[in-house]
Structures are given as structure tokens and as C-alpha cells.
Amino acid sequence: MTDPFAADPPRDPDFPAATRAVTFPSGGASLLGVLHVPAGRGPHPIVVLLHGFPGDERNFDLAQVLRRAGYASLVFHYRGSWGVGGTWSWGHVLEDAAAVVAGLRDRNLAIAHRLDPRQVVLIGHSLGGFAALMTAAADPSIAAVASAAAFDFGTVSALCRADPGRRALYTEAFDGELGPLRGTSGKALVAEMEAAGEAWRLARLAPLLADRPVLLIGTSSDTVTPYDLHHEPVVAAYQAHPIKSLEHHVFATDHALSDHRVTLARTILDFLARHL
């Protein structure tokens, strides 16, 4: 295989690489996505990239690297974000992720884009990391899952319920990110998180992920998802259960892994090469 960091892969005139706009129905809305199809007959494993809140970092760099390595990669927007219809909520994000996975298993879509619906991988960042782990836990057919700087909603909801001052800080922080979103508020998002409570704590997913490869990446210079709060307890829980194919790292970088994008991509590719 061509090194995806050193050179472009050979062109296949019969089965060329392509970039396709795709849509998926979810909750009455049409989710907008971009599918990056590798060259070659396939069928190609599919990596779904789940972005965070509100989605300033959408990981298109990872989508391109994954395609050069032979994986089909999908980036999409959730309901109520970036021009997609409907309203934004944490619960809608989880519903949308599940709807996209279901849509990728459509036989006609798979044939049209040379996809292998038996090998679907979820990779998420921040809120997307939470959604990736939650969606994989609910769907045993997901082949592997990875998160980077995942936001542990169950842990934060407990902190907010115990401390009104912390609740106010999260309300203000969420209010400051609503620009590309519609139909919500910081107060509504904190209330939804608190109502979900322990059901959204990532550590409790260990028994549901025990038989699949899991990659967890923490970020030690991160003020959004501090690794001692959002990463280390999850790693400890997954080691204790245990999850048989668990890999975990902490990178000295910020929440968006701004200066670790190549390291992030190499780590993900190594993980996929060993487990798919």
C-alpha cells in the first residue's frame, strides 16, 4: 500500500477515487454528508467521522488520509447544525449517528460506492467521541470505535447537579457555541445532559464494548475535556472490565489536537491496520 503521508495512491481508471455528496434521513431531516471513496474495486471498509460541538473541527484531514489508505470515509452534519434542518440536541446527535450507520448498510448505496457495510468503524472527536462510543455500545455490528478528547456527559452532568456554579459555567459555555446551531440554548443543553445522568457516563459502556477494538485518546493541554476528568476514568473502567482490544494514549496538545494532526492520523491508521 502507498504511504498515505508520502504520496498519492495509484490511479485506477476503472474504479477511480471520488468525492460524493450523500444524504441520510433522520428524525424528519436530511443529514448532509460527504463520502470520500478510495480508488479500487473494493469493497472498502467505511470510517464514519463524528464531529464535536458545534463542529468547527470536522476532521476532513483525517477523511483524506483514510481515503488514501484505502478506507471510505464519511463526514456529515447532525440535525440543526450547519444548515441541516431540524433542531439541535444531544439526543438528536445520538439518533443521527445511529441513522447514518443504518443508512450505510443500504445495499444500493454500498454497491454504488463500492462500500463494505460489514466493516463500519466510528471515530469521533469531543461530543463526537461520546457519540461514537455510545453508538458502538448500542450496535454490536460496529467493527471498531475510536474517540479523541471525548466529552463524558454523564460525569459532567453529575458535577452540574452537585454544583450550581458549575452548571452556570457550562450553560454560559454552551451558549457561546450556538452560532451554527438552531433550536436550542445553553440552559436546554445542560438540562438535557442532567436528565440523562448516569445513562450517558462513558465508563458504564465497558461491558458492551468488551469484544471489540477500542481506541481512546486523551489531551493533556485541554481545558474543554481535561484528561483527568474525561479520559483517565474511562480508561480505568475499560481496563477493569476488561476490554480485550483496548488502546489508549494521552497527547500533549489542546482540545482540537491542533499540533498533533499527523500523530492523530498515524495513530488511527495503525489502530485500524491491526484490527480490521
What average pLDDT does the segment 38-44 reach? 97
What is the pTM assigned to this prediction? Answer: 0.97
Residue 113, in any domain of the structure: yes
pLDDT above 90 covers what percent of the chain?
A: 97
State pLDDT tens for residues 182-221: 999 999 999 999 999 999 999 999 999 999 999 999 999 9
- Asked if the model's pLDDT at residue 159 lies above 90, the reply is yes
- Asked if the model's pLDDT at residue 141 lies above 80, the reply is yes
| DSSP symbols for 119-149 | EEEEEEETHHHHHHHHHHHH-TT--EEEEES
What average pLDDT does the segment 36-58 reach? 97
Residue 28, in any domain of the structure: yes
Residue 48, in any domain of the structure: yes
State pLDDT tens for residues 82-135: 999 999 999 999 999 999 999 999 999 999 999 999 999 999 999 999 999 999
8 A C-beta contact, residue 19 and residue 75:
no
- Asked if the model's pLDDT at residue 26 lies above 90, the reply is yes
Per-residue pLDDT, 1: 63
Domain count, the chain: 1
d(CA 80, CA 144): 27
- Asked if the model's pLDDT at residue 66 lies above 80, the reply is yes
- Asked if the model's pLDDT at residue 244 lies above 90, the reply is no
d(CA 181, CA 193): 17
**CATH number, domain at 196?**
3.40.50.1820
Q: Identify the domain containing residue 181 by its residue range.
A: 18-275
Residue 1, in any domain of the structure: no
Residue 3, in any domain of the structure: no
Residue 137, in any domain of the structure: yes
**Omega prior to 43 cis, within 30 of 0:** yes
Residue 257, in any domain of the structure: yes
Residue 10, in any domain of the structure: no
User: Residue 53 corresponds to which cell in the numbers above?
Assistant: 460541538
What average pLDDT does the segment 230-234 reach? 98
